[in-house]
Structure 1
Amino acid sequence: MNRSIVCAMLLLGFLSLSMQPSLAAEDNSKEAEESQKVTGKESEAHKKDESEQSRETFTVSSGPLKIEESLDGRFVATERAEISLWPESWSDFKIKDVVEHGAEVQKGETLFQFEDKDLNKAIADLDLELHLGELKINRMEQALPRQERSLKRTLANAEEALKRAKEDYERYQETEREQAIDSANMNLKMAKFNLDYYKDELEQLEKMYEADDLTEETEEIVLRRQKFMVEYGEFNYELSKHYHDRTLNVSIPRSDRDMKESLDQAEDRVESAELANQIDVSTARYELEKLKSARKASLDKHVKLLADRDLMAITSPLAGVVYYGDASDGKWSKIATQKQKLLPGKSADKQTVLLTVLDTTKLQVMTLLDEKLRISLKKGEKVEIQPAAQGSKALAGKVASISAMPVADGKFEALFDLTTNDLPEWLVPGMSCKVEVVTYQNEDALLVPKKAIHDDESKDKKYVWTVEDDKPVKTWVETGREKGDKVEITSGLSTGDVVSLDDEKQEE
């Protein structure tokens, strides 16, 4: 047994001696491998250190973001009354007396007194014109029915005269004309017959007296008488010829013309009467309506002049301070001009603001808000108001209102209430100030430098290079507000993310 143990021990010793070179070589190989690994790690570490030293990075963290804007403002009165002239009819408003610029007035106190002498005379003249117009209308209203009746009678008479003229003309043409000619012929014929008769009878008497034994004296009487009858017959015959010629050549043609003229005149009178009934009555009615219309216009003017007379003395509708002119965007640029115009003896402008009465104890601030800030301000948001006066303290305020529509190109009117209780006595409308407003605030905003953000124009998106395992990774982001060189990230990054500030696109 001891021999077996000794043999075993010898065998083990031999084997040990034979394996030593192999184990040494294996150890050397392992050492070389370990050395190479260490050397590789040192090389990688060296490269990593070099990479980190060449890349500029930024670690994303959350923090407060507050964006403020400073607006130019003007103090304005919340209660004011603009005084202007809007007369109904009168045009001459010559100033008799006017309150001074900057004067304190009470409600109901006189601001303007105008000369009213000419206006009162115009009202009196118009009163007289109205009375006369009323009398003319009454007279015409009474005369119009009589005129209508008279025109109807005239027409009826003309129609009756025309009827008679036609009858006379027809009778003349049918009988009287021929009768007149026949009568002239007969008269001439009768005169000739009588002459011949007288001559024959004289001739017979002369023969008879020559044969009888009558005395000379009796014969002469009879013959003388008969001779006279012959002489008369000759005269009458000549006269009848004259009458006959006159009747045929003068009287009958004249009667023809006269009868035709009488008929034409009768027809003309009827037409005139008919026209008068149609036109004269209508004309009279129109003239009556014209008078009534003129009277109505005079009455309207009278009412307007009476209303304008109330403008001869203008009183203040509220207690306050007088400012000449009116404000534009809170600025009183017309004071100097109005001081030259609002003087006694000068005529006041119409349909324009002459002066304004302001309650200087109730103030607001007005600004013109740029359209880019329109949705940044909300009603009720707090603001800080700093008057322009040196040494003045800032005042607290809040957004009162923002106009729904632009008041100028790209501008909205914003009004701010003053929440400070005690306002300085020297603070008055028209003074300027700065309004500090917070347009955006985020207590946990993620901010990165502007140069970390890049634009992908092809996709219309923005991205950053995040660094992961020392490698840049393109990461899409959405941005919000900007302040200085920082940009708010609203989507795509988280706190602790590392972003590269280099242009990794060129190194990629």
Structure 2
Amino acid sequence: MKKDILLLTALLISSTVGPRTHANSPELFLCDDKEGNATSKKEEPKKDEKERPKTTTPEKKHIRIELSLKGFFEDPDAVPISIDTKNWPEIKVTTPPIQGRKVKKGDLLLGLEQEKISRRMDLVNFDLSMVELDRQVLSSELKLDEALAPMEKEELERVEGYVKQDFERFKEIELPFDKKAADMTLKSYRDSLAYATEELNQLKKMYEADDLTEETEEIILQRTQNQVNRAKFMLEGAINRNERFHQILVPREVVAVEDSFNRKKLSMSTLRKIMPLELKKKRLEMDKLNEEKTKLLRIKKELEFDMRQLKPVAPAAGILYWGTFKKGKWSGTTILEPKLRKSGIIKSHEEFLTILPHKSTQVRISLSEKYLHEVHVGMKGKVLRSAKPKDKLEACLTKIGEIPINPGIYDLTVEVAIPEGEKLPLPGTACTLKVVTYENPDALTLPSSAVFSEDADPDSKFVYLPGKDKPRKKTVEVGKRSGERVEILKGIRPGVKVLTEKPKS
């Protein structure tokens, strides 16, 4: 017991004095330093040891790439219904159609207003009657004018000759004679005055020879004197009239006759031009009436066609649907409810009903152009109905549109096999087409994280292979991608290790 106590005391003393002793004693310091160096050499490899990069090897996997496309079932025999009137742009509904009604060929689909078009037909018939009467009247007048035209032409030429003859006669005969007659009248008055004056002078000479003048002789002289005075006055009037005739009346009459002649001549010339023009005008009026009649007959024919159109009947037996189907997608009834109610208005040539015979079906899909190179006619697939997603129908791609139906969208038609005894899907039902665009059961694959692209050429792919000093690049040719793995077509063999991550340097 005492030995133990002494040993413990010695240890306590040595631990207290030890540090100072080591600090003053080089030997102890070197010893301690060697022990320290040995410890550090043991720990150094752990700090400098590099972590080994993770690697993987190509694995064979079954790659199957499946394309899913949304579409709609469609009745390929669907018949859209529209009212294709020619003169009736708006049509009023009197009896709305029944959605989902089964119709037979020839059944009336809906009731449309007939009253306005009937009134229009009555007006057209009335206009036709009036035009026909005008045609008959004008036709008779035209025939008469055509028959009278040669006679009127001859009469015109004859009248024109008469006018010319009258004018020439006036200048050559009547005007000179009138001047001569005026002069003869003046001479007659002068002769009368001379005769009266001579008679008075003779009486005066005879009575002056007598010494006595009887009362009777005075009366005779006075009467003779009065005759002379009257003859002078009448001569004076004749002179005035003669001057007026030659200086005023004759020039005026010449001007009037010449003007009348020129007017008649101009009238004759104008009539000569107008007469054939009037005949031509009547012919044109007849052509116009014929054209108007033709137009009215065309309108009548179109109205008769429109009246038949306003009694729309089913062109085929089937189910009556409101709206239309575009690439299998149904328009629905909402947009047509205001139009197909009673007193609603339908536009001409507007498709508003569809008859579905419902004897066959197909699927229509709007195919994005990015998938255009992945599908082809004859490719097999499966169609999943939205109502029965577990039941898969056999399908075959039958037609791909050669030109887009919308920017970047092509029309795809798919034939579907419906199991015997099963009802056809209703047109407009949504579905999904699934086709396998690529499949390789023994594909050599790597994780997509182990395949890298060149910065300058993203299409150039490569992997890193582990090396003694540093990893090295290896160019590879990749194929399809499936999930997190990429198909390797060329560049590495099975079993070759590749880095799973890009090295830091």
Smaller-chain TM-score range? Answer: 0.7 to 0.9
CA distance in 2, matches of 1:172, 1:444: 131
Partner of 1:3: none
Q: Report the RMSD for the aligned CA atoms in angstroms.
A: 3.4
Give the deviation of 1:314 after TM superposition.
Answer: 0.8
- Segment drifting more, 191-200 vs 485-494: 485-494
Distance 1:463 1:99, change over 3 A: closer
Q: State the Cα distance separating 1:361 from its structure 2 match.
A: 4.3
Are the structure 2 counterparts of residues 473 and 92 from structure 1 closer, same or farther at C-alpha, using a change threshold of 3 Å?
Answer: closer
Q: Which moved more, 1:223-232 or 1:159-168?
A: 223-232
Q: Any idea what SS the aligned residue of 1:313 has? A: coil
Taking structure 2 as the reference length, the TM-score comes to 0.79
Q: CA 1:474–1:92 in structure 2 vs 1: closer, same or farther (change >3 Å)? A: closer
Shift of 1:355: 1.0
Give per-residue Cα distances to partners, 1:115-160, cap 9 Å, x unaligned.
3233233323323432432343343334224324545544544444
Report sequence identity in percent: 27
Q: Conserved in 2, the CA contact under 8 Å of 1:75 and 1:428?
A: yes
Q: 2:369 aligns with which of 371, 382, 387?
A: 371
Task: Describe the SS at the equivalent of 2:315.
Answer: coil
Q: Structure 1's 396 and 80: CA in aligned 2 closer, same or farther, altered over 3 A?
A: same
1:190 corresponds in structure 2 to 188
Residue number in structure 1 paired with 2:32: none
Counterpart Cα distance in 2 of 1:423 and 1:246? 128
Alpha-carbon distance between aligned partners in 1 of 2:150 and 2:495, rounded to the nearest angstrom: 114
TM superposition shift of 1:404? 1.8
Query: 1:149-188 residue pairs with structure 2 within 5 A?
Result: 149-151=147-149, 153-173=151-171, 176-188=174-186
AA aligned to 2:485 is: K
Using the alignment, how far apart are the partners of 2:260 and 2:159 within structure 1? 10
Q: Which amino acid aligns with 1:412?
A: Y
Does the CA-based 8 Å contact 2:463-2:476 persist in structure 1?
A: no
Match of 2:31 in 1: none
Name the CA distance, whole Å, in 2 between partners of 1:398 and 1:151: 83
When normalised by structure 1's length, the TM-score is: 0.79
Counterpart residue number, 1:503? 502
* Alpha-carbon distance between aligned partners in 2 of 1:401 and 1:216, rounded to the nearest angstrom: 155
CA distance in 1, matches of 2:491, 2:181: 140
* Other-structure match for 1:23: none
Q: 1:235 to 1:152 in 2, by over 3 A?
A: farther
Tell me: CA distance 1:307–1:216, structure 2 relative to 1, closer, same or farther (3 Å): same
Quick check: 2:336–2:352 contact (8 Å CA) kept in 1? yes
CA contact (8 A) 1:154 1:273 kept: no
Q: How far, CA to CA, are the matches of 1:274 and 1:478 in structure 2?
A: 101
Q: Shift of residue 210 of structure 1?
A: 4.8
Distance (Å, rounded) in 2 between the aligned partners of 1:327 and 1:423? 26
Contact 1:466 1:497 (8 Å CA) reproduced: no
Q: Which among 93, 106, 109 is matched to residue 91 of structure 2? A: 93
Match of 1:476 in 2: 475
Is 1:355 the counterpart of 2:367? The answer is no
Residue in 2 that maps onto 1:78: 76
- For 1:490, the equivalent position in structure 2 comes to 489
Task: Tell me, yes or no, if structure 1 residue 301 matches structure 2 residue 287.
Answer: no
Letter matched to residue 358 of structure 1: L
Q: Which residue of 1 aligns with 2:447?
A: 449
Contact 2:365/2:411 (8 A) holds in 1 = yes
Q: Paired residue for 1:199, among 179, 197, 200?
A: 197
Task: State how far apart, in whole Å, the 2-side matches of 1:299 and 1:422 are.
Answer: 56
* Matching of residue 279 in structure 1 with residue 274 in structure 2: no
In 2, distance between residues paired with 1:193 and 1:489?
Answer: 155
Corresponding residue of 1:404:
402
Asked if the contact 1:323/1:357 (under 8 Å) is kept, the reply is yes
Match of residue 438, structure 1, among 429, 433, 436? 436
CA distance in 1, matches of 2:440, 2:268: 103
Are residues 243 and 326 of structure 1, via their aligned partners in 2, closer, same or farther at CA, if it must alter by over 3 Å? Answer: same
Which range is displaced more, 69-78 or 100-109?
Answer: 69-78
Q: Partner residue of 1:58? A: 56
Match of 2:22 in 1: none
Contact 1:373/1:439 (CA < 8 Å) preserved in 2? Answer: no
Deviates more, 1:344-353 or 1:196-205: 344-353
Q: 1:253-284: CA deviations, max 9, x gaps?
A: 32022112212211221232133135323322
Gaps of 5+ in 2: 1-48
The alpha carbon displacement at 1:231 in A equals 5.4
Q: 3-state DSSP class of the match of 2:413?
A: strand
* Greater mean deviation of Cα atoms: 317-326 or 478-487: 478-487
Query: 1: distance between equivalents of 2:91 and 2:459?
Result: 68
Q: Distance in 1 between matches of 2:109 and 2:260?
A: 81
Counterpart Cα distance in 1 of 2:474 and 2:154 = 112
Deviation at 1:221, TM superposition (A): 8.9
CA distance in 2, matches of 1:118, 1:442: 71
Change (3 A) 1:217 1:359: same
Show the counterpart of 1:106: 104
